[in-house]
Structure 1
Amino acid sequence: MSFTVTYRDGRMFDGDIARIGDLLEQLDGPLDDEYPNVSVRDDDTEWVVSAFQTGLLVFENVEEEDGEPRHMENVTRPEMLRVMEMLARGELNEIELLDWRPGYGP
C-alpha cells in the first residue's frame, strides 16, 4: 500500500502511517483560508481524505470525473486520524460505510 501525505504548506511526503498524527498537528493554530487542510492520498486508487481546520473531513477520488465528493462535519481529531489511517491501510470499503454526506460540505 502506497500513500502520500500533504501538509498545509503543500509539502508532500511518501506515506508513513506514523506521520499522520504529525500531519494533523498542522491544523493547529489560527484559521488560514489559503492553507486550511492536510490530506492523505492512496497512490494506487487516487482516493483522498482531506482534513480541515474547521473539523470538515472530505473523501473524494481526484482522478474519477464522475466520482462525487463526500464530507462529514465537526469531525474530532481522533476520528480524522482513524479515517486517514484507514485510507493509508487501503481500507476503502470500510471508509465507504462511514456517515458521509454528498458534496464538499457547507
Structure 2
Amino acid sequence: MSYWMNDVMGASIDEPNETQIREIVSSLQTLADDEHPDVSLEHESGWGLSIYVDGTLLWENVEDSSIPPREITLDSWDEVIEVLLKLSRGDIDAVNQLDWQE
C-alpha cells in the first residue's frame, strides 16, 4: 500500500516511517502559521487526514465527493500519531470508527 505525507511547508515524503511521521507532526507544532496551517497524510485509497496545530483532524476521501469531510479534535499528539499510523497501514475501518463530526 502506498501513502505519503505533506509537511507543514508542503514538501511530500513518500511512505514515511513512524519516526518521520512524528517529526512531521512535531514540526507542525513549531512551524505552522496562517499560510501553512496543517500537515497531511494521504493514502492511495483516496482517504486523507489533515492535521492542524490545535489537534483537529480533517478526514476526507478526495476521490469521492459524495462522502462529506469529517472532523475530530483529539486530546493528545500521541492519539494523532496513532490515527496517522492506522491510515498509513491502510486500516481505513479503524480510522472510520472514531467519533467524527460532520
Extract unaligned runs of 5+ from structure 1: none
Question: Match of 2:4, SS?
Answer: strand
Greater share of helix: 2
CA-to-aligned-CA distance 1:37-86 (integer Å, 9 cap, x gap): 0011102x110011101221111011111111011124421011000000
Residue 89, structure 1, aligned to residue 99, structure 2: no
State the identity %.
Answer: 30
Aligned pairs for 1:1-106 (under 5 A) are 1-18=1-18, 19-29=20-30, 32-43=33-44, 45-102=45-102
Distance (whole Å) between structure 1 residues aligned to residue 11 and residue 24 of structure 2: 11
Q: Greater CA deviation, 84-93 or 28-37?
A: 28-37
Q: Greater CA deviation, 23-32 or 72-81?
A: 23-32
Deviation at 1:17, TM superposition (A): 2.4
Would you say how many aligned residue pairs link Structure 1 and Structure 2? 101
Structure 2 length-normalised TM: 0.91
Structure 1 length-normalised TM: 0.88
Distance (whole Å) between structure 1 residues aligned to residue 2 and residue 32 of structure 2: 30
Structure 1 residue ranges, 4+ long, deviating more than 3 angstroms after superposition? none
Question: Match of 1:28, SS?
Answer: helix
Distance (whole Å) between structure 2 residues aligned to residue 6 and residue 31 of structure 1: 13
Question: Match of 1:87, SS?
Answer: helix
Extract unaligned runs of 5+ from structure 2: none
Q: Which amino acid aligns with 1:68?
A: P
After superposition, the CA RMSD in angstroms is 1.3
Deviation at 1:29, TM superposition (A): 2.2
